Structure 1
Amino acid sequence: MKNLTLPAVGGCRCGRVRVRISAPPLLTMACHCTGCQRMSASAYSLSAAIPSEAFAVTQGEPVIGGLHGASRHFFCPYCMSWMFTRPEGLDWFVNLRPTMLDDPSWFTPFIETWTSEKLPWASTPAVHSYEALPAMEEYERLTTEFAGSFGGAGKSGG
């Protein structure tokens, strides 16, 4: 696995919306819930929890899509790529789809969620698996463990 070089930039499929991250993720995940399966047209969605202050939209204006519910899912208004999510009540991070970055080769999910809804053949290399979501009190331990295992993150580059 390659190291994440920061800052990292990326964008949607058509390139009209661009983003930049300037800090390593707090946690990386794969979600197997049926909602993510439908929104991603895949077996699961991938996300990297980026500290809010380290995330910026640098070009274009993403629009809210998905269910238009409490958690806001942002898409490119032209190509409709699902780019990131801002979960309700959790303003301190943004769930970025890591494949929106120009170089996502560093990404591996550390946890997988909603395995109770996963497709029988779907598997990930996640270290921790949860039938639904981890309890809120588990996130501090998970982010600390992830930070210790995510060697090389934050390396500066151009």
Structure 2
Amino acid sequence: MPDNVLPPAKNAPFPLLEGGCNCNQIRYRLRGPPMYCYACHCADCQRESGSVFACSAKIEFDMIESIGPQAPAIVSIVRKEHNGHAIHRLAQCPECKVTVWDTGNWNPSTYNVHVGTLDMPGLMEPDIHIYVDAKVRWVVLPEGAKTVPRDMDERVHWPKSSLLRLKRGMERWEKKKALTEAEAEKKKAEQSVNAEKGKEVEKDADPSLDDEADKTPTNGSPEPELEGEEDDEEEDFEEYVKKADEMERALQQRLEQLTLKLSEQNKA
């Protein structure tokens, strides 16, 4: 451990950790200790970091908060990996372009905090070094460091407490995702109801209908035969009103169901 980093006292609370970008437009705070810290020596991380390895502290999506003048800009990139294409989402400063954390489609419930952006990066010594088969040979790892030749397996290498946090974090993410989708469905249903009501208002306010009603037969000409037509028009109008009422009731019922579903998920 470096001389300028004091060893943590036994049973001491985890210190409040903050970090940010070079220009300090992006500042963030960790609301708790990371689940796991690792150094990756793969070729992709070497190129993307501009160094010989990348060091990340993995934490739940809701255990990090933005506290700076600006919120990070989320930049999505597609990277080809050994098991297919992965979508990486980088939280970057829009000014100096420093990436402070990243996530991806493989597990959006966790964020990889870039250790070098922490104010006290010396606290985050890696729990494991992965892809050491690609490590540059002049990087000498500490004696006794845990290593794997390729990727790590959380079920094997993580402590049980971190696996439990990972599970609970995924559950919170799924709940948040369901709430977001339910709110979107509710908004869509409300827009549909309002659109139908708007159409009815437009029809009622259409002046062309009044113009047609004001037209009369030419003076002196015989009145047209209307026998049976008035009854047909009344039946058509009643049928139209009936269908409009049924449609509005169906939309209203759908809206009530979505509202109930959203309320139940909020209680859960």
Output the TM-score relative to the length of structure 2: 0.48
Inter-partner Cα distance in structure 2 for 1:24 and 1:58 = 17
Aligned equivalent of 2:155, options 122, 137, 144: 137
Bigger Cα Rg: 2
Number of residue pairs matched?
Answer: 145
How much does 1:131 deviate?
A: 1.6
Aligned equivalent of 2:124, options 90, 104, 107: 107
Helix, strand or coil for the counterpart of 1:105? helix
How much does 1:65 deviate?
A: 4.5
8 A Cα contact 1:19 1:58, kept in partner: yes
Inter-partner Cα distance in structure 2 for 1:145 and 1:5 = 15
More helix by share: 2
Inter-partner Cα distance in structure 2 for 1:86 and 1:44 = 18
For 2:183, the equivalent position in structure 1 comes to none
| Shift in CA distance, 94/34, structure 1 to aligned 2, threshold 3 Å | same
Helix, strand or coil for the counterpart of 2:159? helix
How much does 1:84 deviate?
A: 0.7
How much does 1:71 deviate?
A: 2.2
Inter-partner Cα distance in structure 1 for 2:64 and 2:159 = 18
Higher mean C-alpha displacement, 104-113 vs 115-124: 115-124
Helix, strand or coil for the counterpart of 2:107? coil
* 1:42-89 CA-partner distances (Å, limit 9, x unpaired): 110111011222111222232345844512122212112121111323
Aligned equivalent of 2:35, options 4, 8, 26: 26
Structure 1: where are the runs of 5+ without partners? 148-158
Helix, strand or coil for the counterpart of 1:42? coil
Higher mean C-alpha displacement, 37-46 vs 98-107: 98-107
8 A Cα contact 2:76 2:88, kept in partner: no
**RCO higher in 1 or 2 (8 Å CA, sep ≥ 6)?**
1
Output the TM-score relative to the length of structure 1: 0.78
Structure 2 counterparts to residues 66-85 of structure 1, below 5 A: 67-69=77-79, 70-85=87-102
8 A Cα contact 1:23 1:51, kept in partner: no
For 1:62, the equivalent position in structure 2 comes to 72
Helix, strand or coil for the counterpart of 2:155? helix
8 A Cα contact 1:28 1:49, kept in partner: yes
| Shift in CA distance, 68/61, structure 1 to aligned 2, threshold 3 Å | farther
* 1:12-34 CA-partner distances (Å, limit 9, x unpaired): 11111111101101111111111
For 2:146, the equivalent position in structure 1 comes to 128
Helix, strand or coil for the counterpart of 1:72? strand
Structure 2: where are the runs of 5+ without partners? 80-86, 164-268
Inter-partner Cα distance in structure 2 for 1:6 and 1:52 = 19
Q: Percent identity?
A: 25
Q: Does 1:50 align with 2:59?
A: yes
